[in-house]
C-alpha cells in the first residue's frame, strides 16, 4: 500500500484509473463535486472502489464541512451550516451550541455513510483571529481555543455516531495565516508562547483518529519549512507537545503554498513524518510520479490507518430528527 490518497477524475472510474489504482494500491481516495451526481451514482462509485480493494473498510474521504465547503449538495442533498453558525449560538447558549454541533455532525455522518463515504475531513480546530484569512474564518468554530475544542469534540463524536471517521485540521493551527494556502505560503511570526492558543484545541483532541497538516511556516519552530514538510514541527509539536498519535495526512500537496513537483512534495512530506500524502486532482501523470517516488506505507502508518478505520461502528440515528433538533437549537441564536 502506498502512503497516498488520490482523487478521481469523474463520476465513474476510468479504465486507466482502475489499472493504475490496482497497481499503486493507494491508502485511500478523496471525492469532489466532479465525482458526485446523485445517490445511486455515488454509491456505485464507492462500491467500485471497495471492489478494487476487495474489502469494506476502504478510506474514502470527502470535504463535507457545510457552508461553502460541501461536495454533496442540493437538490440531491440538503445544505448544512458551517462553523460560524454554531459559534454564534455559543455566544448565547454554549451547551445548546455543542448539542447542535453534535446533531449536525451525526446527520452528516449518516448522509455520507449512506453513499459509502467513510471519512469526513472535519472538524476544523483552527482558532480564528481578526486578521485570519477568510478562507478559514468562513469555516472556523470561533476565536476562543476551548470553545473550538468543545465544538470540535462534539463534531468528532457526532460523525462517529453517524458512521464515519473525522479528521482534525489544520495541524498545528491555521488561524494566524493571513493568506490562503491554496495560492500563497503564509509565514506566522508569533512566539512559541503565543502559539499555545493555536495548539490548545488539538491538544484537547489529541486522541482523534486522523489529522491533517497545514502548509504554514511557523518561525518559532522552523523558519525554513512549512509544517507539512518540517520534521521539527511534526515530531516536536504535533507528535510531541500536542500528543497526537493518529494518522497524519497532508493538506492537498497541489496547493501553491508548497513548491516543487508533486513527487518531490510527496516524498518530502513522508520524509518529514507525515503518514499519508493527500493529492486531490486526479492528474494521471502526477499520480504516476507520486507513486513512483513513494515506497510502501510504514508499519506505524498502516497501524494508525487501520486503527482509525476501526474506530467507527455502524451508523445510528434518525436523519430527519437530527436535522430538526439542530435547527431548533440554532433558532435560539435569533431569539
- Written as one string, the DSSP assignment of 4-41 is EEEE-SSSS--HHHHHHHHHH-EEEEEE-GGG-S-HHH
Contact between residue 286 and residue 262 where contact means Cβ atoms under 8 Å apart: yes
* Peptide bond just before 172 cis, omega within 30 deg: yes
- Written as one string, the DSSP assignment of 309-330 is HTS-----S-HHHHHHHHHHHH
- DSSP state, 91? H
Among 64, 68, 85, 187, CA closest to 134: 68
Cell of 65: 464541512
Among 58, 29, 27, CA closest to 270: 27
Catalytic residue among 143, 180, 182, 245: 182
Catalytic residue among 120, 251, 275, 279: 251
Q: What share of the chain is helix, strand, coil (3-state, %, to 5)?
A: 45, 15, 40
Instruction: Give 120's strand partners.
Output: 62, 166
Among 258, 288, 283, 282, CA closest to 272: 258
> Whole-angstrom Cα distance, residue 60 to residue 213?
18
Q: Is 16 among the residues known to form the active site? A: no
> Whole-angstrom Cα distance, residue 217 to residue 290?
23
Q: Is 170 among the residues known to form the active site? A: no
Q: Which residue has the cell 491508502?
A: 27
Residues involved in catalysis? 182, 251
Amino acid at each position: 500500500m502506498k502512503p497516498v490518497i488520490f482523487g478521481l477524475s469523474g463520476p465513474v472510474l476510468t479504465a486507466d484509473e482502475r489499472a493504475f489504482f490496482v497497481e499503486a494500491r493507494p491508502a485511500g481516495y478523496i471525492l469532489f463535486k466532479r465525482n458526485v451526481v446523485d445517490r445511486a451514482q455515488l454509491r456505485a462509485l464507492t462500491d467500485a472502489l471497495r471492489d478494487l480493494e476487495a474489502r469494506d473498510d476502504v478510506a474514502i474521504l470527502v470535504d463535507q464541512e457545510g457552508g461553502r465547503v460541501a461536495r454533496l449538495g442540493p437538490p440531491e442533498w440538503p445544505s448544512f451550516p458551517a462553523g460560524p453558525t454554531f459559534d454564534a449560538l455559543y455566544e448565547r447558549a454554549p451547551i445548546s451550541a455543542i448539542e447542535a454541533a453534535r446533531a449536525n455532525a451525526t446527520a452528516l455522518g449518516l448522509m455520507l455513510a449512506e453513499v459509502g463515504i467513510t471519512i469526513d475531513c472535519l472538524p476544523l480546530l483552527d482558532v480564528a483571529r481578526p486578521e485570519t484569512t477568510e478562507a478559514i474564518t468562513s469555516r472556523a468554530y470561533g476565536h476562543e481555543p476551548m470553545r473550538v475544542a468543545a465544538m470540535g469534540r462534539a463534531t468528532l463524536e457526532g460523525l462517529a455516531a453517524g458512521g464515519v471517521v473525522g479528521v482534525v485540521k489544520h495541524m498545528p493551527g491555521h488561524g494566524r495565516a493571513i493568506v490562503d494556502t491554496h495560492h500563497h505560503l503564509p509565514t506566522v511570526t508569533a512566539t512559541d508562547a503565543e502559539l499555545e492558543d493555536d495548539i490548545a484545541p488539538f491538544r484537547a483532541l489529541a486522541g482523534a483518529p486522523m489529522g491533517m497538516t497545514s502548509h504554514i511556516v511557523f518561525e518559532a519552530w522552523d523558519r525554513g519549512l512549512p509544517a507539512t514538510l518540517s520534521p521539527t514541527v511534526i515530531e516536536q509539536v504535533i507528535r510531541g507537545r500536542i500528543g497526537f498519535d493518529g494518522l497524519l495526512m497532508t493538506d492537498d500537496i497541489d496547493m501553491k503554498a508548497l513548491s516543487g513537483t508533486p513527487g518531490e512534495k510527496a516524498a518530502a512530506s513522508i520524509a518529514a513524518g507525515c503518514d499519508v500524502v493527500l493529492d486531490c486532482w486526479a492528474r494521471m501523470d502526477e499520480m504516476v510520479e507520486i507513486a513512483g517516488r513513494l515506497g510502501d506505507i510504514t508499519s506505524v502508518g498502516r497501524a494508525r490507518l487501520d486503527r482509525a478505520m476501526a474506530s467507527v461502528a455502524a451508523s445510528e440515528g434518525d436523519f430527519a430528527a437530527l436535522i430538526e433538533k439542530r435547527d431548533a437549537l440554532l433558532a435560539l441564536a435569533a431569539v
